[in-house]
Amino acid sequence: MVFNWFRRQFSNSESDSQVEQQQSDQIQPSAEPETSESTQEQSPGVSEDLLRYAKAAYKNIQQKQEQAEPEAAPDAGQEPSADVPDTAEVSESPDTLIDTAAETASLEVEDDLAASATSEAIASEPAAEQINHTNAEVEEETTPESAQEVEAIAETGVVIAPEAPEPETESAIAETGVVIAPDSVETQTEEAPPTPVPFWAKEDRQARLERLKATAIEAPEPERVQAPVQPAATAVTEEVPGLAFDEGFMWSAQVLATQGRRAEDVSIEEITWLKRLRQGLDKTRRSLINQLKAIVGQGPLNQDAVMEIEALLLQADVGIEATDYIIKTLQDRLREEVLPPDQAIAYLKKILRDLLDKPIQESYSPTFVPTKDTLNIWLMTGVNGAGKTTTIGKIAHLAQKSGYKCLIGAADTFRAAAVEQVKIWGQRSAVEVIANPGQNTDPAAVVFDAITAAQARGTELLLIDTAGRLQNKKNLMEELGKIRRIVDKKAPNAQIEALLVLDATLGQNGLRQAEVFSQAAKLSGVVLTKLDGTAKGGVALAVVQQLGLPIRFIGAGEGVEDLRPFSSYEFVEALLSG
Ligand SMILES: Nc1nc2c(ncn2[C@@H]2O[C@H](COP(=O)(O)OP(=O)(O)OP(=O)(O)O)[C@@H](O)[C@H]2O)c(=O)[nH]1
């Protein structure tokens, strides 16, 4: 079984219908999938399930890495749960904590895995061991350490029960005055101001302990505070080289879980990609979307709010048409009913997703997957420097990994170094490149040769690089038209797609090219590149709304792994999830 990177799921050479069946049979993960109808943000209640899922996914990645490198395998006697990064384990090192939420989140871990990891961590750490006593042991202890503990207990009113968590947790508890039940590490409280030393702290030790025990039993149930959705991974650990079990991992795991991906099918590449996408959209998110969330979350939109949203969307290059659509749809809904902030934001996400998916749903192929055992020809077009050659290299890599027979046609004969550049990408992805060695050769001739070679070899995906051209260069646009006609004529039975590669950093300016390219090459989709580091990520919405073309791939980096099929769900989550 091969993972099909275009379909983003495992498949073999079965027919599409079998593959679709396999998709529907997939077991849903514990996190509630967010359906297109859903207007609810994921409830914090899923955080424990999510943590379990993320840990299973991490462990699976780790095991795969270990299988790939047997010498790095763990000791035979090691408990499996110890392999899994655990917030309780990591929180032994205060330096690794990103914020105090990690400490409180670690208390929320209820599953067996976490509990066992907690106790193992405590057992293996002498300092932590010292707090792992029963009340009776505390009474009997006469060492200076235990005396300090008793003193601390006496001052705070906290009784540390067996299986208590690690020192950080203990101090957090000490501040809050919470009694931890012996078999649970989930009790959670709000932060409370430091408690003044009570009068009984000055009494005889034995009497104090008696009183404490009594108080512990009668202590009122502390108010439970739900941890945020992604709390548990704020502690960073790196059991898999280059892959930290951190907040970004948790977010990525959640996105995959919500889309129905099983934990055992989560790969390091998928996680790394999602982390990169989210990081890439960081600027757009921070400069604009967070403000948008704040306004939308306030309830019905008044005129000021509408103007603010309008300005924010336009700043992110969402474009006038898409902005009008978003505001109108939002207003219609918010006039009907007052939505709490989280639901208003969930609704905003749905609007954006629907907008991005509209041309995909209307198009003949909702997923952009090369058909097996058929010649698929993808013509890559766009202006100079948009990222055509790089994109071809990345798609060739995905095709190779997904088990397609792939070939590249180097028809960018206009720029001297272009053929060499595409050859390097071909080597990187182990895909052969068909090129004409002569200088300034006719690109149409290269295309012809490439199709002939593809047909002779049973190639499944032929990627054709074309010269970057400005849309106002008439002769170059005519040449592109000629290339398209040759493709249509020479391969009438092939599945032909023409993709416009657009540089996201150009924002709205990039869109003006599209119409001319569309006429010359009969465009069927867009590849949006350079989404890393631009504050104009909103241009994706403008592309769809103004061009009516689906986005098929997005690129967020110069590396070979930095391109993936477009998913509106992942994009919107990366754009709006704080
Ligand atoms: N940061 C970033 N850079 C990218 C991305 N895609 C491409 N690039 C860079 O953009 C530059 C131009 O990429 P090319 O692939 O050569 O662009 P082209 O469209 O083939 O250019 P011409 O051959 O001149 O038409 C290169 O430096 C790439 O590394 C991306 O997603 N992110």
Per residue in 484-493, pLDDT (tens digit) is 999 999 999 9
pLDDT at residue 104 above 90? Answer: no
Rounded distance, CA 378 to CA 477, Å? 18
Binding-site annotation, residues: 382-389, 465-469, 529-532
For residues 196 and 163, the answer to whether their CB atoms sit within 8 Å is: no
pLDDT tens-digit series, residues 298-309: 767 777 888 888
Query: Phi and psi dihedrals of 572, rounded to 5?
Result: -70, -40
For 426-447, what is the mean pLDDT? 88
In a mutational test of the pocket of ligand 1, which residue from 390, 429, 480, 566 has the highest number of ligand atoms less than 8 Å from its CB?
390
Cβ of 559 below 6 Å from ligand 1: no
- The reported pLDDT for the residue numbered 471 is 59
Greatest alpha-carbon pair distance for the chain in Å reads 98
Ligand 1 midpoint to CA 388 (Å) = 7
> Considering only CA atoms, which residue is closest to atom 29 of ligand 1?
558
Q: Which atom of ligand 1 is nearest to the CA of 563?
A: 31
Q: How far is CA 403 from the centre of its chain?
A: 25
For 11-25, what is the mean pLDDT? 43
- The reported pLDDT for the residue numbered 283 is 83
pLDDT at residue 538 above 80? Answer: yes
Q: Is residue 483 packed enough to be buried (19+ CB in 10 Å), middle (13-18) or exposed (0-12)?
A: buried
Cβ of 385 below 6 Å from ligand 1: yes
pLDDT confidence tier of residue 425, bands split at 50, 70 and 90: very high
Cβ of 418 below 6 Å from ligand 1: yes
For 89-96, what is the mean pLDDT? 30
pLDDT confidence tier of residue 75, bands split at 50, 70 and 90: very low
Q: Choose between 108 and 277: higher pLDDT.
A: 277
In a mutational test of the pocket of ligand 1, which residue from 463, 501, 558, 562 has the highest number of ligand atoms less than 8 Å from its CB?
558
pLDDT at residue 564 above 60? Answer: yes
pLDDT tens-digit series, residues 50-60: 898 999 999 88
**Domain map (residue ranges) of the chain:** 41-244
Q: Choose between 59 and 182: higher pLDDT.
A: 59
pLDDT tens-digit series, residues 194-225: 333 333 333 444 444 444 444 443 333 333 33
Sign of the dihedral through C-alpha 254, 256, 257, 263: negative
Q: Which atom of ligand 1 is nearest to the CA of 465?
A: 20
Rounded distance, CA 408 to CA 391, Å? 12
- The reported pLDDT for the residue numbered 426 is 95
Report the first-to-last Cα separation within the chain, whole angstroms: 36
Ligand 1 midpoint to CA 503 (Å) = 8
Q: Give the closest residue to 106 by CA, choosing from 231, 271, 262, 283.
A: 231
Q: What ranges make up the beta strands (E) of 474-550? A: 495-503, 525-529
- The reported pLDDT for the residue numbered 478 is 87
Ligand 1 midpoint to CA 529 (Å) = 8
pLDDT confidence tier of residue 437, bands split at 50, 70 and 90: confident
Q: Give the closest residue to 572 by CA, choosing from 546, 554, 549, 548.
A: 554
Q: What is residue 11's three-state secondary structure?
A: strand
- The reported pLDDT for the residue numbered 312 is 85
Binding-site annotation, residues for GTP: 382-389, 465-469, 529-532
User: What's the chain's average pLDDT?
Assistant: 70
pLDDT at residue 542 above 50? Answer: yes
pLDDT at residue 16 above 80? Answer: no
> Considering only CA atoms, which residue is closest to atom 21 of ligand 1?
385
For 154-183, what is the mean pLDDT? 34
Cβ of 390 below 6 Å from ligand 1: yes
Length of the chain: 578
Sign of the dihedral through C-alpha 512, 517, 519, 523: negative
Ligand 1 midpoint to CA 494 (Å) = 28
Q: Which residues touch 304 (CB under 8 Å, ≥6 apart)?
A: none
pLDDT confidence tier of residue 364, bands split at 50, 70 and 90: low
Predicted TM-score of the model (pTM): 0.68
pLDDT at residue 509 above 70? Answer: yes
Q: Which residues touch 193 (CB under 8 Å, ≥6 apart)?
A: none
For 399-427, what is the mean pLDDT? 91
What percent of the chain is modeled with pLDDT above 70? 61
The mean-pLDDT minimum among 33-47, 297-311, 539-553 falls in 33-47
> Considering only CA atoms, which residue is closest to atom 13 of ligand 1?
387
Q: Give the closest residue to 469 by CA, choosing from 518, 523, 412.
A: 412
pLDDT confidence tier of residue 479, bands split at 50, 70 and 90: confident
For 149-167, what is the mean pLDDT? 35
- The reported pLDDT for the residue numbered 60 is 86
pLDDT at residue 190 above 50? Answer: no
For 509-532, what is the mean pLDDT? 87
Q: How would you label 98-114 residue by residue, b for 16+ Cβ within 10 Å and e otherwise? A: eeebbbbbbbbbeeebb
Cβ of 335 below 6 Å from ligand 1: no
Cβ of 573 below 6 Å from ligand 1: no
Ligand 1 midpoint to CA 445 (Å) = 25
Cβ of 415 below 6 Å from ligand 1: yes
For residues 260 and 35, the answer to whether their CB atoms sit within 8 Å is: no
- The reported pLDDT for the residue numbered 237 is 64
Ligand 1 midpoint to CA 419 (Å) = 14
- The reported pLDDT for the residue numbered 175 is 37
Rounded distance, CA 128 to CA 120, Å? 10
The mean-pLDDT minimum among 5-19, 261-275, 510-524 falls in 5-19
> Considering only CA atoms, which residue is closest to atom 31 of ligand 1?
530
pLDDT at residue 105 above 90? Answer: no
Q: Which atom of ligand 1 is nearest to the CA of 556?
A: 31
Q: Choose between 402 and 185: higher pLDDT.
A: 402
For 154-163, what is the mean pLDDT? 35
The β-bridge relationship of strands 563-565 and 551-555 is antiparallel
- The reported pLDDT for the residue numbered 70 is 56
